[in-house]
Amino acid sequence: MRFKGQAEKTVRAASILITVITLTLLACIFFDSLFSCLLLVWKHTAQRVDVPVMGDRVITLVSGISFGVAGMAVYGMRKRLRCVFWGKTGKWYAVLAIPQLVLAALIYAADLGASHGVLFRSGGDMGAYYDHIFSLVGWGVLSALSLFAVGVYVFGMDRIHLEQKKAEQYQVQVAVYKMLEEQYSQAERLRHDLKNHVLALRGLWEEQAWEKLGDYLKRMEGSAQLGANEEATGNRAVDALLCQKRKMAEEKGIDWECDVQIPKQSHINEFDLCVLFGNVLDNAVEACGRLQREAHGQGEKPFIRVQAGAVKKCFLLVVKNSMNAVGKPTGGISERKNPRGQGIGLLNVRDVVQEYNGVMNTEMQNGIFDISVLMPLGKAAHDMERVV
C-alpha cells in the first residue's frame, strides 16, 4: 500500500517482508521445538515424570521466548540482509520471493496438519513420551534444514548478482580499453607521419591557402588527439588508459604526476593491467572530485600520484590521492558501492591481484589515500614473502 503505483518498489518491499517473515517463522519453529524438547526431557529425567506434558501457559511461554529469540536472531542479521536487498531489479526481487512463498505455504500446511494431530511418529511401540520427543526433533530438523536452504538461496542469489555485476563491468572496461588503444594507435601513426604533414602544411602556407591550411590543422587535431605525451609505459593499452585518466584529472583541476614503467618480461595480461589501473585511478579521480565539491574551492589543490614498475621480481603499483580528512574516510573508495559496502571497482582490482597471487594494501591517513599492489612478474613466483 505504501508504494502503490510503483511496481518495482512494491515488489522489493514484498520481497523483503516475505524473506524476514520466512526466516523468523523457521527460526521460531526451530527454537520452539528445541526448548520444548529440552523442557520435556528435563521433566522426564529430573522430575521423574513418566509422560510429561506442557500446559497452555507453558506452551504460550515457550512460544513467546522462541519468537523473541528468533526475532533477535533475524534482527542481528539486519545489516547483512539490508546489503542483500540493495541495488537489485524488480525481477530479481520476484525471483527471490517466489520460492520462499512456496516454502512458507508448505510450512503453513504442515503446521496446520500438526494442529490436527498429524505428527512425526517413532514408528514403534515406544509410548507417548518418546513419540512426542521424536515429533519435536523431527520439526527441529525440518525447520533447521529449511532455514539453511533459505539462507543459501538468499545469500547465494546475492553472490550471483554481485559476480554478474563484476563480470559486466569487466567486459565494459575491456571494450573501452580496446577503443582507447585504437585511438592511441591512430595518434601514434599520425606522429610517425608528422614529417609528411609538415611538408603538406608548408606547401599550403607558401601558397597562402589559409582556409585549406586551417581545415588541415583542424583535421589533424581531431584525428590525432594531440597533447602532452607524458605516458610512455612500454605498454600501448596502458599508455592510452593513462592518457585518458590524465585528461580527466586535468579537466577537474587535479594535479597529476605519473611515473609508470611496465616490465617487458611479465606474464600479466595487458587488459588485467588496464582493469587494475583503470579502477584504482577512477576511484582516485572520484575521491578528488568529491573533495573539491565538499571544500568548495578552498584549501590545497587535490592531487593524484601514480608510480609503478619492477621491484626485484615483482610489479609494484602505488597510487596516492587527496581525500577528505574530516568525517568518515572515504578516500579512494568509490561511492558506487556493492552490497558489502565496498566499491565494485575495488573488488575487480582485488580479483586481478588474487589471480596473479599478489597482495593489495590500502591506507587512509592525514588527508591522503594510499593503495599499493604487489604482484609477481614470473608465473612460478607464488610465494610473495620469498620473492620479496
> What does the pLDDT read at residue 371?
93
Render each residue's pLDDT in the chain as its tens digit; 388 residues.
Answer: 666 667 767 777 888 888 888 888 888 888 988 898 898 888 888 888 877 878 888 888 988 999 999 999 988 888 888 878 776 777 788 888 888 888 878 877 776 666 555 555 555 556 677 777 877 888 888 888 888 988 888 888 888 887 777 777 677 667 666 766 676 666 666 666 666 767 777 777 777 788 887 887 777 666 554 444 455 677 777 887 888 888 888 888 899 999 998 887 778 887 788 888 888 998 899 888 888 777 665 667 899 999 999 988 899 999 999 887 654 444 444 444 444 444 566 888 888 898 889 999 999 888 899 999 999 887 644 444 444 4
Assigned C-alpha cell, 290: 568529491
Task: Report the alpha-carbon distance of residue 200 to residue 213 in Å, rounded.
Answer: 9
- The pLDDT, as a whole number, for residue 130 is 77
158, 23, 10: which is closest to 84 by C-alpha? 158
Give 381-386's long-range contacts (Cβ < 8 A, gap of 24+). 381/313, 381/314, 381/357, 382/357, 384/314, 384/357, 384/358, 384/359
For residue 207, the SS3 value is: coil
pLDDT value of position 121: 59
The domain limits of the chain are 7-164, 229-387
Per DSSP, helices labelled H in 207-343 are: 210-224, 236-251, 270-295
* 3-class DSSP assignment, residue 183: helix
Residue 205's Cβ-count burial label (10 Å; 0-12, 13-18, 19+) is: exposed
Alpha carbon distance 243, 249 (integer Å): 10
User: CA separation (Å) from 68 to 34, 177, 183, 373, 374?
Assistant: 14, 54, 63, 47, 49
pTM over 0.85: no
CATH code of 229-387, in short, is 3.30.565.10
Q: What is the structure's pLDDT at 342?
A: 46
Amino acid at the residue 300: E
